Amino acid sequence: MSAAPTSDSIAARVGAWSRRLAARWLVARALDLRVVGLEHVPAAGPAILVARHYHHLYDAAAILACVPREVHVLIALDWLGGGPRLHVMRWLAAAARWPGVWRSGPSWRLNRDGYRLSLRLLREGRLLLVFPEGYPVIDPEGSRKTDTDGCLPFDAGFLVLARRAGLEVPIVPAGLSYAPRPGGGWRVWLRFGRPVSLSTAEPGQHRAQVATLEAEVHRLSAPPTDLNLLPETFSKPV
């Protein structure tokens, strides 16, 4: 597998622009996207976006489409099984510098590579998107969630990354709420919360901090009661 382009190369900048353009095209085609709290996403420096996982494709597309800086997505590879599909996805992920992990099974090498790349990105001052539930509601491989409003427990891996990066890494909670759109597609509300700066707390507080962020993502994912209260709308490429 060839090496990924460096972050400041022309190829890397063109690749990031192309991925954002593709995400905006997909959003304009399939979603009526409403975005609130975008100002909470740091304009520069390391940060982790911790988001609810509802749709296997549209969640990341919505975030890539509206966030003005490059977003590196932590993606799952196990659903691809093996063979050509896995090799192609790993090549694409390497080109984008998107860390890949294996959610189940003993494929520790893939998880180790994804962990190392995630730390490297944070230490370079980059923005990492993580879906701590691991599995979405709408999943081509079949959902592990019992209802569309339910959420799986958060994996604490994002907190480990934030602590081991060796520098201050704000964690930004992001909520996603979906409703069918008349005529097809989805109406989606994407809400970003205020960044959480983790202290160097004792290990005993580890679970409590994950629970706090999980609760905030759940709150931000609640369906809005009044659409007129949403001040910012993003529904097509700009």
Residue 174: domain span:
10-229
**What is the Cα–Cα distance from 104 to 200, expressed in whole angstroms?**
30
Is residue 5 situated within a structural domain? no
Is residue 209 situated within a structural domain? yes
pLDDT at 144: 64
Which is more confident, 205 or 137?
A: 137
Residue 149 and residue 143 in contact, taking contact as beta carbons nearer than 8 Å:
no
| pLDDT band for position 66 (cuts 50, 70, 90) | very high
201 pLDDT exceeds 60? Answer: no
Burial of residue 108 (number of CB atoms within 10 Å: 0-12, 13-18, 19+): exposed
Is residue 167 situated within a structural domain? yes
CATH number of 92's domain: 3.40.1130.10
Q: Among 15-24, 122-131, 136-145, 211-220, whose mean pLDDT is lowest?
A: 136-145
**Torsion angle of C-alpha atoms 55, 61, 65, 70, degrees rounded to 10:** 120
- The predicted model scores a pTM of 0.86
Residue 201 backbone phi and psi in degrees, to 5 = -65, 165
Query: Rg of the Cα trace of the chain?
Result: 17
Is residue 4 situated within a structural domain? no
Is residue 116 situated within a structural domain? yes
pLDDT at 149: 63
Is residue 24 situated within a structural domain? yes
Q: Note the pLDDT tens digit of each residue in 103-150.
A: 765 555 558 888 999 999 999 999 999 999 988 998 877 666 655 566
Number of domains in the chain: 1
**What is the Cα–Cα distance from 171 to 157, expressed in whole angstroms?**
13
Is residue 1 situated within a structural domain? no
91 pLDDT exceeds 90? Answer: no
**What is the Cα–Cα distance from 95 to 97, expressed in whole angstroms?**
6
SS3 175: strand
Return the H-helix or E-strand segment holding 109. Answer: helix 108-123
pLDDT at 232: 46
SS3 52: coil
Is residue 237 situated within a structural domain? no
Return the H-helix or E-strand segment holding 108. Answer: helix 108-123
